[in-house]
Homo-oligomer: A and B are copies of this chain.
Amino acid sequence: MEHEEARTRVIIEGVEPEINSGRFPIKRIIGDKVVVEADIFADGHNVLSAILLHRKEGDLNWNEVPMEFLANDHWRGSFVVSELGHYQYTFVAWVDRFKSWQQKLAKKVEADQDVSMDFLEGAQLIEEASQRARKSDAGNMQKWAESLRSNQVSPSAKAKLALGNKVTAVMAKYSDKRCAVTYPKELVVVVDRGKAGFSTWYEIFPRSCMSEAGHHGTFKDCERRLPYISEMGFDVLYFPPIHPIGYTSRKGKNNTPKAKPDDPGTPWAIGSKEGGHKAVHPQLGTLEDFRRFVSKAQEYGIEVALDLAFQCSPDHPYVKEHPEWFRWRHDGTVQYAENPPKKYQDIYPLEFETENWQELWEELKSVAIFWIEQGVRIFRVDNPHTKPFAFWEWLISEIKKDYPEVIFLAEAFTRPKIMYWLAKLGLSQSYTYFTWRNAKWELTQYFTELTQTDVREFFRPNLWPNTPDILNDYLRDGGRPAFMTRLVLAATLGANYGIYGPAFELCENRRKDKESEEYLNSEKYELKQWDIKSPSSLKDFIALVNGIRRENPALQSDLTLCFHSVDNDQLICYSKRTEDLSNVILVVVNLDYRYKQSGWVDLSFEELGLDYDQPYEMHDLLADSTYRWQGARNYVELDPQKIPAHIFRIHQGITKSRNYRIMRKRG
C-alpha cells in the first residue's frame, strides 16, 4: 500500500446521478443547474470538507464549488452549464483538521474545560497554513497564531478569535488537502440546446401537400402549408424519407405485394437509379428546393427534421456499388428485411457486420453530414434498435464533435432496456410507450418511472399519440373526444411531443383491418389529399394547447411532474411547476371519451407551494374560466362532448406568503 493511500481516510460513494458507474453521461439543457449528491464520510469523529469540481471538457482547470452537508453523511453541490457540448465533474474531500479542531474547541469551551493545549495546537495549524497562504493573508495568520500562544491574551478572547468568521474563512482558503481524496471518475454531462428538452413536432408526408388531388406534392406545395402548421404552434416539422423510392418489389396501396404503375411506393424503400440517401426524390423537387424550404420554414420558427432510415430498396446504388454491404442468400439474391412471418421484399437491410464495416459506417456518417450541410439539425432515427449499439455511439459522438446542436429522436419502439440503452448511447429524445398507455394506472406508473427515477437523467420522452404506423384502439374507438384527450395528455405529460398530421387533427380513425394498427388507405403507400379546412378539424384546439405550452414554462420540462389523487379512475390529475414556483400548472383529464366524469381531486399542497389556510385561483387556460378553490379536496367534472380536460394555472394571491413558500422550497 502506498503511503498516501494509507493516510487518506475519506470515502466518496453513492454519487447521484451516475449512470452505469459513470460509463454514460447525464443530459442537460443549456442554462440548467446540475445538482449532484454524494455520500462522503471518514472514520473517526473529524469534520470533513468537500468540493465539487467541474469544467467544460477540454478546459485545463477545474472550477471549485464547496459542497453542502445535508444529513446522514450526504452532501450536495451544483453548477450551471452554459454552453453546448460536454462538461465534466468530480469530487474532492478531505479531513479538515482545522474545522475538526474548531469543533473540539467549541465543545470544550462550552463545557468550561481547560483548553490551553488546544490553543497551542490551533496556533500550529494556523502557522502551517500560513506557509501555503498568499502574502496578503500570511501576515494576519502569523498574528493570529501569536495571539493564540500569547500569555497576554485571555482564553475567552482566544476562543472568540479562533472560532470567528475571519479565521474560519481564511483557514478554509488554505485548508490542508495533502490527504484529500479525489473521486476516481470524471463524470460527464452532455449539454444540448433548448429544443432537445422542449419541442413540438408535426409529421407530414410532403407528397401529400399537393395543391390538387392526384398530383404529387412538392417542397413548393409544402411552403404553402407552413402558415397552417405554424398557426397550430409546431416548431419541428418532420418529413419521412425524401429520397428516391425504389421500383423493384414496390408495395401497392394498403401494403399489397404488387404495386400498380402509378403507386408511389413507401418512402422508406430508399434508393433508385435516381439516387440514394443523399438525393431528393425528383417528384418532390430539387435539392435547392429543399434548402429553400428549410429556410422558409425557419422564417415561421419551424425547424425541418429528416429521417435517418439506414436501409435500401433493391434499386439503391449501394447494392451494385457495395454488394459486400448486404447479406447474400444461397440463391444469389440479397436477403430482404423480414420479421417472420412478415416480409419486406422492397427493403434490404444493411449488413452492419460486414468485413467492410468501417467503410459502411463512414458512408452512413457522410449521409448525416450531407443533410446537416443542407441546413438540417434534427434527425428522427428510424428503428435504431435494429442496428448495432456501437454504431450509434460512434455516429452520434462523431457528429456532435462538430455539430453539438444536432438532435436525434430515436424511433425505438422496442423493449424497455433497449430503449434506455439507446438513450444512454447518445440519442437525444425517444419515442415512448405513451402511444399505448391509456389507463390512469399505467400512465401514472410509466411517467413516474420516466420522470422520477434515474431514467430522467438520460432519457427524454417524446410522446406521440399517433404515427403513420400506429392508430391505436383508443383513437379508433373514441373518435374526436379521444383525440382531444390524447393531445392534452401528450402535450402536458411530455415537454416533447408530436403528432402525425393531418391524420391527427382531422381525427382520422379508420383502420385497415382488425389485426393491425395500420391506417386504412395509409399514405405510406399512396398519395393523399387531406381536407385541412374541415370544420371539424382540431387545429384551433391544437393551437390553443400549444400556445399554453409556450406561455407556461412549467410545461417545458418533465422533471417536476407529480400525480395527485382523484377518487375516480377515469380522471387523471397531475402538476408541473417551475423550480421557483412562479408558474404552476395542474392538469385534469377525463380518460373516458364516452361519458361525463366527476370526482374529487386531492392536491399535494407541499408540491404546489400552496398555503393550507388561503384560497387560490384556478384559471382554466383551455376554457378561459376561473374557479376559486380552497383546501386540498376540490370537485371537478369533465364532459368529453365539450372539453375533456382542464389545464389550470394556479394563482394564490398573497405576495408575502408566496415569497415565504419559495424560500422554503429552495431550502
Contact = CB atoms under 8 A, between A and B. Distances in A.
Contact of A72 (B21, B44, B339, B417): B417
A388 B43 contact: yes
Interface in A386-413: 386-391, 394
A643 interface: no
B340 A385 contact: no
Interface stretch (A1-9, A59-67, A587-595): A1-9
A109 to B, nearest CB: 9
Contacts of A43: 385-389, 418
B108 A390 contact: no
A389 B11 contact: yes
A110 interface: yes
Interface stretch (A113-121, A152-160, A437-445, A628-636): A113-121
Contacts of A69: none
Given A20-B13, A121-B330, A353-B7, A41 B421 contact: yes
Nearest to A417: B73
A664 interface: no
A390 B2 CA distance: 11
B41 A386 contact: no
Contacts of A111: 340-341
A476 interface: no
A9 B45 contact: no
A223 interface: no
Given A8-B390, A121-B329, 17 more contacts: A1-B390, A6-B358, A6-B391, A9-B388, A11-B389, A13-B20, A41-B421, A43-B386, A43-B388, A44-B385, A44-B386, A73-B415, A104-B340, A108-B340, A110-B341, A111-B341, A120-B330
A52 B107 CA distance: 56
Nearest to A5: B390
Interface in A335-349: 338-341, 343
Interface string A350-376: 000100011001000000000000000
A331 interface: yes
B41 A418 contact: yes
A641 to B, nearest CB: 40
A58 interface: no
A72 B415 contact: yes
Given A9-B388, A113-B341, A388-B9, A41 B108 contact: no
Nearest to A393: B1
7 contacts: A6-B388, A13-B20, A41-B418, A43-B418, A107-B340, A108-B341, A111-B341
Interface in A593-628: none
B387 A39 contact: no
A41 B417 CA distance: 8
Nearest to A425: B11
Contacts of A417: 13-14, 39, 41, 72-73
A416 interface: yes
Contacts of A387: 43
Contacts of A339: 45
Interface in A13-45: 13-14, 20-21, 39, 41-45
Contacts of A13: 20, 417, 421
A617 to B, nearest CB: 40
Given A9-B389, A385-B43, A72 B416 contact: yes
B341 A6 contact: no
Nearest to A387: B43
In order of increasing CB-CB distance, the 10 nearest A-B pairs are: A111-B341, A107-B340, A120-B330, A21-B21, A73-B417, A108-B340, A117-B329, A44-B386, A104-B340, A39-B417
Contacts of A117: 329-331
Contacts of A120: 329-330
Contact of A341 (B7, B107, B421): B107
Nearest to A45: B339
B340 A1 contact: no
A67 B87 CA distance: 39
Chain B CB within 10 Å — which of A5, A11, A339 has the most? A11
Nearest to A113: B341
Contacts of A72: 415-417
A394 B1 contact: yes
A289 B41 CA distance: 43
Contacts of A110: 341
A390 B4 CA distance: 11
Nearest to A338: B104
A386 B45 contact: yes
A214 to B, nearest CB: 37
Interface string A316-331: 0000000000000111
Chain B CB within 10 Å — which of A343, A387, A415, A421 has the most? A421
Contacts of A42: 389
A389 B73 CA distance: 16
A463 to B, nearest CB: 22
A105 B340 CA distance: 8
A8 B393 CA distance: 13
Contacts of A21: 21
A279 to B, nearest CB: 27
